[in-house]
Amino acid sequence: MEDRTRTAKIQEYLYRHVASSSIPKQLHCLALRLANEHSTNAAARLQLPSAELVPALVDNSYYHFVLASDNVLAAAVVAASIVRNALRPQKFVIHIITDRKTYYPMQAWFSLHPLSPAIVEVKALHHFDWFSKGKVPVLEAMEKDQKVRSQFRENNTEKPKVIAAKLQALSPKYNSMMNHIRIHLPELFPSLNKLVFLDDDIVVQTDLSPLWDIDLNGKVNGAVETCRGEDQYVMSKKLKNYLNFSHPLIAQHFNPEDCAWAYGMNIFDLEAWRNTNISNTYHQWLEQNLKSDLSLWQLGTLPPGLIAFHGHVQAIDPFWHMLGLGYQENTSYEDAETAGVIHFNGRAKPWLDIAFPQLRPLWAKYVDFSDKFVKSCHIRAA
């Protein structure tokens, strides 16, 4: 009976993993339709932004937002929610970074769905001079990381939750450059002094320009702390929840009771960042984790981020980043509606069938379901 219960639990985690990491056919359809549109319609191949607006891309008098994503629909929602809630959208510049395969669909979408007066730039990673000139440390580490993770085998003695964590570590998103690129923001945007980095599973619900008025007190990263709440998923996390303190390398460098903080809506002072060794530290610890057979932490960009930015984080008001909408079914629409930025971190992404129905409308309100591409791919509100 115990073995059957354990097997059933593992199967449940496996089904959840497949449901959360697979690309829905509707999103695959959208990318294909847009790629075809890019090849046949000159209007889908517009320069983004237009030539006269290019100087704004490096103008620090504008509010700059960076979004890295290979999901066209998710990126469209983030960008639309930023602009629709902006008090002065003409001062907003949105830099969208994607990969080679998604570049044409992404360019087609934002060419055909302009967000003027805001300025939108769409670039693939290989378009960045710095990225294409030589070795990118995090890419080298990721290649090794994929080899290590590909050797995963289920251990019959491990608890279902441990196996679930390992399955999650195999998710493509954790090996995606889109997930790691944030550690190289100073090199990718050498002319910018400050920017806001956003994940593609967030929704903006307020004007974000006040973020530039927050005093970071000389720190690099303005982020919401996640150790002051009571829920078990997101807001009660300390370093001990992400790092393996039974490993001497972790134990001798960090305090397990130190507060964790969130990725997903971060203010980065790039000027201050350039005076640190944060990016090198991140890479060095990725290498250490690989040498330790992934025993320092198991997955994601947050653990090495917690290490690299240690001592460089300024806590900001939780209003700016409400987390856990992809974890907690008991989060109410009314509570989520009051936050400036909401984050569907967790498995239940709003574009998936497993999304929580009472929360999905907060995301879906920024999708035009009558749009010909959305409609033809059978993407529906519910």
Cα separation, 292 vs 296, in Å, equals 7
Grade residue 62 by pLDDT with cuts at 50, 70 and 90.
very high
Q: Is the pLDDT of residue 10 over 50?
A: no
- When pLDDT is averaged across residues 116-124 and rounded to a whole number, the result is 97
The residues, any chain, with a CB within 8 Å of residue 2's CB and separated by 6 or more, are none
Which among 278, 74, 79 has a CA at the least distance from the CA of 178?
74
CATH architecture classification, 2-376? Alpha-Beta Complex (3.90)
pLDDT at site 28: 95
Q: In degrees rounded to 5, what are phi and psi of residue 354? A: -85, 5
Residue where the block lists tokens 């039974």: 246
Q: Which of 34-38, 50-54, 133-137, 352-356 has the lowest mean pLDDT?
A: 133-137
Alpha-helix runs per DSSP H in 197-277: 239-242, 248-251, 270-273
pLDDT beyond 70 at 18? no
pLDDT in tens, 72-93: 999 999 999 999 999 999 999 9
Q: Of the ranges 153-157, 259-263, 289-293, which is most confident?
A: 259-263
Give residue 300's pLDDT band: very low, low, confident or very high (50, 70, 90).
Answer: confident
The model's pLDDT over 205-261, given as tens digits with 9 standing for 90+, comes to 999 999 999 999 999 999 999 998 777 778 899 999 999 999 999 999 999 999 999
What are the CA-CA distances from residue 235 to residues 69, 217, 292, 325, 334 (Å)?
25, 24, 28, 12, 19
Helices marked H in 2-71 — which ranges? Answer: 2-21, 25-40
Check whether 271 has a pLDDT greater than 90.
yes
Nearest in space to 14 (alpha carbons), one of 164, 153, 147: 164
Per DSSP, the three-state class of 92 is strand
pLDDT confidence tier of residue 114, bands split at 50, 70 and 90: very high
Q: Which H or E run includes 267? A: strand 265-269
Residues 6+ apart with CB under 8 A from 352: 19, 20, 24
Q: What average pLDDT does this structure show over 16-45?
A: 84
pLDDT for res 232: 74
Listed in sequence order, the residues at least 6 apart from 331 whose beta carbon sits closer than 8 Å to its beta carbon are 324, 325, 356, 359
State percent of the chain over pLDDT 70.
81
Instruction: Note the pLDDT tens digit of each residue in 181-200.
Output: 899 999 999 999 999 999 99
Facing residues of 144 across strands? none
